[in-house]
Amino acid sequence: MGPTPLIPALQRPLWLLLVTIAMLGISLGFALVPSLNLSFGQSDENGKAYSTSTTAMISGLWSGAYAFGDFLGPTVSGVITENADFGWAMTSFAFLCFVCVLMTFIVKMCKLKKKPSKKSLNINTVIVNEALSDDDVEPLIP
């Protein structure tokens, strides 16, 4: 609903902008919250034992990627806005978001086609349970 030049007759009343900002916030929450949890699940699937160091490594990588995106987004947006107007910059970012959603959908569909067997899930669960040590279960702050 941004100022795209592809739809010149689009009226932008205040209520419509507020609805789109609310939708943006909700969709950002739907994207960010599960991504960290999926990262932890992916490490379990790849044989990494669940421990404090694994959790710290994944959280650090996730936070670093998020911070890099916070840097890269405004930088690229500024370059595009300098070379084109603001409407085309926002249209190009909307297109990039659509490409990311499409790529995520394709990856999810490919993963659904090759589901792991129950036997491999049981083996992974046993490996994770055996890898937990006493220092991983104790709280960090006594």
Answer yes or no: is 65 within a domain. yes
Tell me whether residue 91 is in a domain.
yes
Query: Which one, of 79, 91, 84, 94, lies nearest residue 8 by Cα?
Result: 91
Q: Is 130 helix (H, G, I), strand (E, B) or coil?
A: helix
Structural domain count of the chain: 1
Q: Tens of pLDDT along 9-39?
A: 777 788 888 888 899 889 888 888 888 888 8
Q: Any residues with CB less than 8 A from the CB of 45 and at least 6 apart, and which?
A: 116, 124
Confidence label for 60 from pLDDT (cuts 50, 70 and 90): very high
Q: Is the dihedral of CA 4, 9, 14, 15 positive or negative?
A: negative
In a domain, 77, yes or no: yes
Q: pLDDT tens, 96-110? A: 888 988 998 898 888
Would you tell me how many other CB atoms lie within 10 Å of the CB of residue 91? 19
Expressed as residue numbers, the domain containing 68 is 59-114
Task: Classify residue 114 as exposed, middle or buried by CB count within 10 Å of its CB (0-12, 13-18, 19+).
Answer: exposed
On the question of pLDDT at 8 being above 70, the answer is yes
